[in-house]
Structure 1
Amino acid sequence: MNPLQATCLLILFLTTSACRPERTETILSPAPSITPKSYLALGDSYTIGQGVSATERFPAQTAQWLQQKGIIIGTLTYIATTGWTTTNLQNALNNQNPAPHDVVTLLIGVNDQYQTRDTAGYRQRFTVLLQRSIELARGKKENVVVLSIPDYSVTPFASSNDTARIRRELDLFNAINKEITLSCRISYLDITPSTREARSNPALIATDGLHPSGLEYRKWAERLGPLLEPVLK
């Protein structure tokens, strides 16, 4: 067994003068007869939904999807901020020390790529973050889902840059987070191909010209929901 198996990221971008809160929590009112569940969403601008409303974020839309299946997310907590790298997320978790949740999602790495951080460092930090995600899911690997890094090379924001290089680098970072995730036998949701559809469909990009629109996030939610449903029943 190798060390990776054993230990089973543009500053996202420089687009806003006011980042979203580091941590936000939504308390919903569940039906009296249904035991509410909790969901912790970890990441950067893609998780906090830069450029869209709070209800259009993919975790919120996933909670809506689950509600249609009779599963109520009573507490939806975000620890995510536009521009965060893996280091920023690690520091936030260390400082905030959140309580365990029923399910946890992790999407992080685009800012590591944008800031030209080395992939070896990303590998180490992502591994630590995945381990922490498992702990925050009460030690249940099946209650953690990792999402791949979206490809922003297809957006208007990146049009004047070397888009081929961006795509290659994102593929490298995603290969790393996928390898680590699957080696730990944790669910991996590859949404990168979906984000590349924005090249021919502008409706999938938010009005800021960089981030996904609520429509794109809905596509993620419709794939994430079925992964979370079995463990929340």
Structure 2
Amino acid sequence: MPAGHATISYLALGDSYTIGEGAAHADRWSVQLAALDRAQGGRLANPDIIAHTGWTTAELQAAIVASGNHRRDYGLVSLLIGVNNQYREQSIALYRAELRELLATAVAFAGGNGGRVVVLSIPDWGQTPFAHDRDRAQIGREIDEFNAVAQAECQRAGVAFVDITPLTRAAMGEAGQFTHDGLHYTGPQMAHWAARTLPVVQALLR
């Protein structure tokens, strides 16, 4: 690219929802986000990803340390984490403390600029086919509690927060929105997440 038009580096942190468990690489919401940005004339590069199915906040933080990635120049860092904390019945207080640490880590990856970090809310897995024999309402209430903490901690850290949870609830009953395991989401559903996140990211990158 011409001088002044270099791509903007991007790091996506999270769990199975960040890697798009069961979906193609190109269907991952973070990859779709970058593609949408470029389609509108932006310069967001495809993301580096530190994420794995099943990770809690503590496991993500440990994996970041183990990764040896010490960059401090990412133009954008995204974070989507917490569903496994809720699934394993970990406390809200623990989630708050560990998320606070992860947010500091994310901001450090962005060169200390919280204005280059975006957090997505936790999807409501209680509205997935996988949860057909679970207490869907209870799961939803707990997800809301975790997301309230996430939103408050983002505000405290000066980090953008995007609420995608209603999109995941709207997917209930639509088979094409879920992968073969009935728990994770297909490209069309993650496209909604990317589209909702795009204007927030574009504002951050201006």
TM range (shorter): over 0.9
Report matched runs for 1:10-159 at 5 Å: 31-32=1-2, 34-98=5-69, 99-100=71-72, 101-159=74-132
Q: Distance in 1 between matches of 2:182 and 2:11?
A: 27
Q: How far apart in 2 are the matches of 1:184 and 1:231?
A: 15
Tell me how far 1:137 sits from its aligned partner: 0.8
Alpha-carbon displacement from aligned partner over 1:18-60 (angstroms, at most 9, x marks no partner): xxxxxxxxxxxxx456311110000000001101100000000
**2: distance between equivalents of 1:51 and 1:186?**
29
| Aligned structure 1 segments of 4 or more residues deviating by more than 6 angstroms | none
CA distance, structure 1, for counterparts of residue 46 and residue 178 of structure 2: 28
Between the aligned residues of both structures, percent identity stands at: 40
How far apart, in 2, do the equivalents of 1:103 and 1:197 lie?
28
1:172-230 deviations in whole A, cap 9, x for unaligned? Answer: 11111111112222110000011001124332222321111111110111121212223
RMSD: 1.4
Q: Is the 8 A contact 1:40 1:104 kept in 2?
A: yes
What amino acid does structure 1 have at the position aligned with 2:60? Answer: L
Q: Secondary structure at the residue paired with 1:104?
A: strand
Cα deviation per residue 1:79-101 (whole Å; 9 max; x = unaligned)? 00000000110101112242131
What amino acid maps onto 1:175 in structure 2?
Answer: A
The alpha-carbon deviation at position 75 of structure 1 amounts to 5.0
Measured in 2, the distance between the counterparts of 1:171 and 1:225 equals 23
Matched residue SS, 1:105: strand
C-alpha distance after superposition, 1:140-169 (max 9, x if no partner): 111000100000111111101121221111
3-state secondary structure, aligned to 2:130: helix
- State how far apart, in whole Å, the 2-side matches of 1:92 and 1:201 are: 34
Deviates further, 184-193 or 223-232: 223-232
Of 78-87 and 175-184, more deviation after overlay is shown by: 175-184
Between the aligned partners of 2:40 and 2:187, the Cα distance in structure 1 is: 21
Instruction: List alignment gaps of at least 5 residues for structure 1.
Output: 1-30
Name the stretch that deviates more: 120-129 or 161-170: 161-170
Q: Distance in 2 between matches of 1:96 and 1:71?
A: 28
> Is the aligned partner of 1:166 residue 2:166?
no
List runs of 5+ in structure 2 lacking aligned partners: none
C-alpha distance in 2, partners of 1:61/1:143? 18
Contact 2:114 2:159 in 1 (8 A): yes
- Looking at structure 1, the residues matched to 46 and 190 of structure 2 have their Cα atoms a distance apart, in angstroms, of 20
What is the TM-score of this pair, normalised by structure 2? 0.93
Alpha-carbon separation, structure 1, partners of 2:12 and 2:37: 15
- CA distance in 2 between counterparts of 1:199 and 1:49 reads 18
| Cα distance in 1 for residues equivalent to 2:205 and 2:40 | 11
Q: Is the counterpart of residue 175 in structure 1 residue 145 in structure 2?
A: no
CA contact (8 A) 2:103 2:157 kept: no
